[in-house]
């Protein structure tokens, strides 16, 4: 059987070598006293191994409060590996191994899990995304350009009928993709089943008229029994996408719904800042996305260029590109990046260039609703921006004879096509 590899960005009041050994011990066969059963043979078979230790910097003060004080706190990259025999091909148990009782250790004053590598056995155990990029594009009838999407706003408070009437406007405006806000769940204001029925009436009738079915990601996030029932209703109503909040479901919830539903899973990472905001604690996106792709995520939110949050553009793009990282085995398990958060026509050019392909979903809220030409104008501006990007024409040049794009660049950014924050 293969081995599992994990990479950490670690700071320690002792030495990197010692801290790496402590983690390897804690997370496999060790404890704070030498035990009778911990033979050399057992350690050889079951122990985690320190594969590599590379110092990167040092500091006089610890990055996080730490019980052990020292003159110098050393930072570096540490790679550990585990025999798969310990935890088997079970993602929930892999998580407990690589991201378990490590972050509290007195031997570390900062710890981030930055990469993971799954041996090929996981490709047998986990199906990966059912639709991924190509399946989603085919289902939505979109070719050779990004899917243009939006989020129902206000996020909460609209009735099912009000939601459906907004969907009708968006469908008529030419949108490819619509999603519930992650706050819109199954509350009494707007119950799931009523919203589903009202919205699908509009979408199905629009599809009958035009031959194009708008993909709507209904938020099914809930307890598993409810989620399964709502997923069934969704499929019966002709829906083509289900949305889930990843951290609310957990890995077992994500796997369970992947095995139940035959539709793309639109995966929202709300709560993400807990893992990403501090440079000194957490789990990086390139790690989480591998867990999620194995478990079956089709679409993964990655924020957006010039977003309204704090994530840097370089991180956003690295994260989107990490969805191409090889997973275990030969199958690609490619998931679709979803750009969202303060997106308008302004960032389309840079997004296409930076991602390196156009198989992504580009969600704009205010960037569509706030367009002077209304919904249709907003959608048109985004499609024009995409067309310019795909054709290699600078947005401000293309805008010269494309009114909606021109209006969007005027309102949301600068005519030279560089992104400007709201």
- Are 415 and 382 in contact, with CB atoms under 8 Å apart? no
Q: Which of residues 352-371 bind a second copy (CB under 8 A)?
A: 365-366, 369-370
Residue 377 CB coordination number (10 Å): 18
Site membership for a second copy, residue 43 (CB under 8 A): yes
Closer to a second copy by CB, 137 or 379: give it: 379
List the structure tokens of 352.
């296409």
In angstroms, give the least distance from the CB of 302 to a second copy.
12
Q: Which of residues 302-321 bind a second copy (CB under 8 A)?
A: 303, 308-311
Site membership for a second copy, residue 84 (CB under 8 A): yes
The single residue among 12, 74, 86, 289 that binds a second copy, judged by CB under 8 A, is 86
In angstroms, give the least distance from the CB of 209 to a second copy.
25
Site membership for a second copy, residue 135 (CB under 8 A): no
Give the span between the Cα atoms of 409 and 415, in whole angstroms: 6
- How far CA 237 is from CA of 183, 198, 200, 260, 261, in Å, comes to 22, 10, 7, 16, 13
User: What is the 8-class DSSP label of residue 392?
Assistant: T
- Are 363 and 343 in contact, with CB atoms under 8 Å apart? yes
The single residue among 238, 279, 326, 356 that binds a second copy, judged by CB under 8 A, is 279
Q: Which of residues 52-71 bind a second copy (CB under 8 A)?
A: 64-67
User: What is the 8-class DSSP label of residue 213?
Assistant: P
In angstroms, give the least distance from the CB of 164 to a second copy.
13
Q: Which of residues 318-347 bind a second copy (CB under 8 A)?
A: 342
Site membership for a second copy, residue 161 (CB under 8 A): no
Site membership for a second copy, residue 414 (CB under 8 A): no
**Sign, Cα dihedral of 269, 274, 277, 281:** negative
Give the span between the Cα atoms of 289 and 310, in whole angstroms: 20
Instruction: Give Cα 236 to chain centroid, integer Å.
Output: 27
The single residue among 187, 238, 326, 356 that binds a second copy, judged by CB under 8 A, is 187
Give the span between the Cα atoms of 398 and 21, in whole angstroms: 58
The single residue among 128, 132, 160, 253 that binds a second copy, judged by CB under 8 A, is 253
Site membership for a second copy, residue 21 (CB under 8 A): no
Site membership for a second copy, residue 9 (CB under 8 A): no
Site membership for a second copy, residue 130 (CB under 8 A): no
């Amino acid at each position: 059987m293969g081995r599992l590899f994990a990479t950490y960005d670690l700071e320690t009041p002792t030495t990197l070598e010692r801290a790496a050994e402590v983690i390897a011990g804690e997370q496999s066969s060790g404890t704070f006293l030498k035990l009778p059963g911990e033979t050399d043979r057992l350690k050889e078979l079951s122990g985690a191994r320190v594969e590599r230790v590379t110092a990167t910097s040092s500091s006089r003060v610890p990055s996080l409060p730490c019980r052990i004080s020292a003159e110098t706190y050393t930072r570096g990259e540490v790679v550990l590996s585990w025999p798969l025999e310990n935890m088997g091909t079970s993602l929930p148990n892999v998580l407990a191994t690589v991201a378990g009782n490590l972050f509290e250790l007195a031997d570390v004053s900062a710890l981030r899990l930055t990469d993971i590598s799954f041996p090929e056995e996981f490709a047998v155990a986990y199906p990966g995304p059912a639709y991924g990029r190509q399946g989603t594009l085919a289902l939505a009838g979109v070719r050779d350009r990004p899917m243009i999407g939006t989020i129902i706003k206000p996020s909460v408070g609209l009735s099912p009928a009000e939601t459906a009437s907004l969907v009708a406007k968006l469908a008529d405006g030419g949108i490819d993709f619509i999603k519930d806000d992650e706050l819109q769940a199954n509350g009494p204001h707007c119950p799931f089943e009523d919203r589903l029925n009202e919205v699908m009436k509009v979408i199905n009738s629009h599809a009958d008229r035009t031959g194009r079915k708008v993909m709507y990601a209904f938020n099914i996030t809930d307890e598993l029994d409810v989620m399964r029932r709502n997923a069934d209703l969704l499929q019966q109503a002709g829906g083509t996408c289900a949305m889930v909040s990843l951290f609310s479901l957990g890995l077992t919830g994500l796997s369970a719904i992947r095995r139940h539903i035959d539709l793309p899973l639109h995966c929202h990472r709300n709560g993400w800042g807990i893992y990403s905001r501090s440079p000194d604690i957490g789990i990086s996106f390139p790690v989480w996305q591998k867990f999620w792709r194995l478990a079956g995520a089709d679409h993964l939110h990655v924020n957006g260029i010039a977003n309204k949050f704090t994530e840097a553009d370089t991180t956003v793009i690295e994260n989107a590109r990490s969805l191409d990282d090889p997973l275990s085995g030969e199958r690609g398990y490619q998931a679709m990046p979803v750009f969202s958060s303060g997106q308008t026509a302004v960032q389309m050019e840079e997004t296409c260039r930076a991602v390196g392909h156009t198989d992504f979903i580009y969600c704009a809220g205010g960037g569509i609703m706030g367009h002077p030409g209304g919904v249709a104008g907003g959608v048109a501006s985004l499609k024009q921006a995409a067309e310019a990007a795909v054709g290699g024409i600078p947005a401000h040049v293309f805008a010269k004879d494309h009114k909606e794009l021109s209006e969007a660049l005027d309102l949301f950014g600068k005519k030279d096509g560089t992104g400007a924050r709201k």
